[in-house]
Amino acid sequence: MIPQMSRPEMDMLKRGLAAGLLAAVLGALAPAHAHAEGTIRIVEQFGTLYTPFHVMKEQKLIEKHGQALGLDIKVEWAKLSGGSAVNDALLSGNVDVAAAGIGPFLTLWDRTRGTANEVKIIGALGAQPNYLVTSNPNVKTVKDFTKADKIALPAVGVSVQARVLQMAAQQAFGPGKEKALDELTVTLPHPDATAALLSGSTEITAHLSNAPFQDQALKDPKIHKVLSSYDVLGGPVTPTFVYSTVRFKKTNPKTFQAFFDAFREATAWVDAHKKEAAEIYVKVEKSKLDPAFVAEVLSDPQVKYTLTPLGSQKFANFLADIGAIKNRPASWKDYSFDDLHSDPGS
């Protein structure tokens, strides 16, 4: 159970925990031979959309594809929460491959475009809706939230969930009102936010989530869905991406190729083997969830495991419109590696 805290106390605790976690992770992932061919350091976050990563670990696919290229690859994995922490790890050179929402990615792409640290998308982590769920029976739409409500999401203002909420606010309240609900948001990792929402003992009354956490919450009759990111964006969207620096690909071509081939193989395998993928998710995550429940989540007809970006240009246009990024891309291909350019992305 998470004890009741004031907003300042919660914010201070979360900042301290985040700083400590980031320092510990980066300390463990800072080998002296950074950017050496044959080593790859990968950071992930939480949710079933990361199942291709779990399969890559369990089946040692990066190592397999490395050997096919004549390379023995050392793979190092770490986990963080929130795009800001992930981006810091990538920019500092402590990881080689990052995974975060399209919002944090585009912010970093805009910041690094044309520099030695320019980042580009390797592939998507599948199309999957993010649900805004709440325990407040009076909230039917985003217009119904009051100052008594607190909405948890991975990173206030910048995570993909934060940007979805801003898009929904703009649609509900009008142009220039995209940040109307920002003051209600609180940074919490998805597992902690789900626990807080279900406990009913904290200030958290809503959570803009992802699977399986949103599905887990909706099993509780006190929780209901307010909206889906698919509603906000007008259709399927790949909300989370795997990305790296142009420099890493250039200086580590075989390692990059092995990762890309493994990623594509794992993604296709998950899409075709939902039951087995669910079992791997539970095993790798040491999850207490029933594998049958996870398989049900993976088999949702709204979920599609694919590397191809879908709907990312809508996010880019929104961020450019509100001034969150300075460079408006003409196409999704502007911010992705050419390995994807033959795919029908958007």
Residue 113 pLDDT exceeds 80: yes
* Predicted local distance difference test score (pLDDT) of residue 201: 87
Placement of tokens 């990615």 in the chain:
105
- Which architecture characterizes domain 13-127+237-340 according to CATH? 3-Layer(aba) Sandwich (3.40)
Residue 18 pLDDT exceeds 50: no
Residue 105 pLDDT exceeds 80: yes
Render pLDDT for 181-230 as a digit per residue (tens, 0 to 9).
Answer: 999 999 999 989 999 999 998 999 999 998 899 999 999 999 999 999 99
Return mean pLDDT, the chain.
Answer: 88
Q: Mention every residue, 6+ apart, whose C-beta is less than 8 A from residue 293.
A: 212, 215, 216
Strand order in the sheet with 119-124: 74-79, 39-44, 97-101, 240-245, 119-124
As to burial, measured by CB atoms within 10 angstroms (0-12 exposed, 13-18 middle, 19+ buried), residue 154 is buried
The proportion of the chain whose per-residue pLDDT surpasses 70, expressed as a percent, equals: 90
Would the CA dihedral through 254, 257, 261, 262 be positive or negative? positive
Cβ pair 272, 306 in contact under 8 A: no
Tell me what the mean pLDDT of segment 111-124 comes to: 94
Cβ pair 240, 306 in contact under 8 A: no
* Predicted local distance difference test score (pLDDT) of residue 157: 87
Residue 6 pLDDT exceeds 60: no
The proportion of the chain whose per-residue pLDDT surpasses 90, expressed as a percent, equals: 76
Instruction: Indicate the pLDDT class of residue 14, thresholds 50, 70 and 90.
Output: very low
Residue 32 pLDDT exceeds 80: no
Instruction: Indicate the pLDDT class of residue 23, thresholds 50, 70 and 90.
Output: very low
Is the whole model's pTM more than 0.85, yes or no?
no
User: 3-class DSSP state for residue 309?
Assistant: coil
Render pLDDT for 56-97 as a digit per residue (tens, 0 to 9).
Answer: 999 999 999 999 999 999 999 998 877 788 999 999 999 999
What's the rounded Cα separation, in Å, for the pair 229 and 309? 15
Render pLDDT for 219-265 as a digit per residue (tens, 0 to 9).
Answer: 999 999 999 999 999 999 999 999 999 999 999 999 999 999 999 99
User: In the chain, which residue ranges form alpha helices assigned H by DSSP?
Assistant: 7-28, 51-58, 61-68, 83-91, 102-112, 160-173, 190-199, 213-218, 229-233, 246-251, 253-272, 274-285, 291-298, 312-321
Other CB atoms within 10 Å distance of the CB of residue 13: 11
What residues form DSSP beta bridges with 41?
A: 76
Tell me what the mean pLDDT of segment 290-318 comes to: 93
Would the CA dihedral through 256, 257, 258, 262 be positive or negative? positive
Tell me what the mean pLDDT of segment 155-161 comes to: 88
Alpha carbon 31 to its chain centroid, in Å, reads 25
Q: CATH 3.40.190.10 residue ranges in the chain?
A: 7-11+129-233, 13-127+237-340
Fold of 7-11+129-233: D-Maltodextrin-Binding Protein; domain 2 (3.40.190)
